Amino acid sequence: MCGRYSLTATAEAIVEHFQLLRPVKFQRSYNIAPAQKILTIVELDDQSRKAVYLYWGLVPSWSKDRKHSSHLINARAETIREKPSFRAAFKHRRCLIPASGFFEWRQDAIGKQAFHIHRADQQLFAFAGLWEQWQHETETLYSCAIITTAASELMQPIHDRMPVILLPEQYHQWLDKTAEPDHAFELLANQAYAQMATTPVSDWVNNPRHDDERCIQPMPY
């Protein structure tokens, strides 16, 4: 799964990397957690891209209340086309979720060790995501989930799942609303992993209220 990540790039770097037409209001975060509003990228009808903030924890449009979101921070790539919670969003409402890295914990003999997984060149990347609109009477909520897949060889010693990571040349294929969903699914089934690295970090990151450079500071392991 993916339950914590970082986005430490500047607003200018995000605009350039995702080819946005407008500046983005953004404050870097070293420890992003579920139930926060997170920065996402969607594609408009003219194929331009827009940055929007969505609630992390997808609420299906048919859900009777918002509480359904507590378990929907992730969507498994293998079943995304069949699961009622995700299949409509997969067809029509795909998004990118900008990231600098993500966190995962490995259980060992002395406890859990946190790792920050990031590109080896420290560059931005994106998770494949889905978004949904939920409405009840006068309340409207826009929410999202991060898609996960089986762990890469690099990740397997740490965890058996990881977020789907997309490269810049894959962004349009994922966002394109005019394409057949199977075309987007190819990116999930045949993921081209960026060159990633894993860095052990301290247990400071364990607390989601901690949001500073100590969350990603390397430590001996």
The reply to whether 215 belongs to the active site is no
The reply to whether 2 belongs to the active site is yes
CB of 14 closer than 8 Å to CB of 112? no
**Nearest in space to 152 (alpha carbons), one of 186, 185, 119, 108:** 119
CB of 125 closer than 8 Å to CB of 167? yes
Q: Whole-angstrom distance between the N-terminal and C-terminal Cα of the chain?
A: 23
User: Which residue in 12, 82, 95, 104 is the catalytic one?
Assistant: 104
| Coil vs helix vs strand at 109 | coil
Q: Which two tokens stand for residue 49?
A: 């891209």
List, by residue number, the catalytic residues.
2, 104
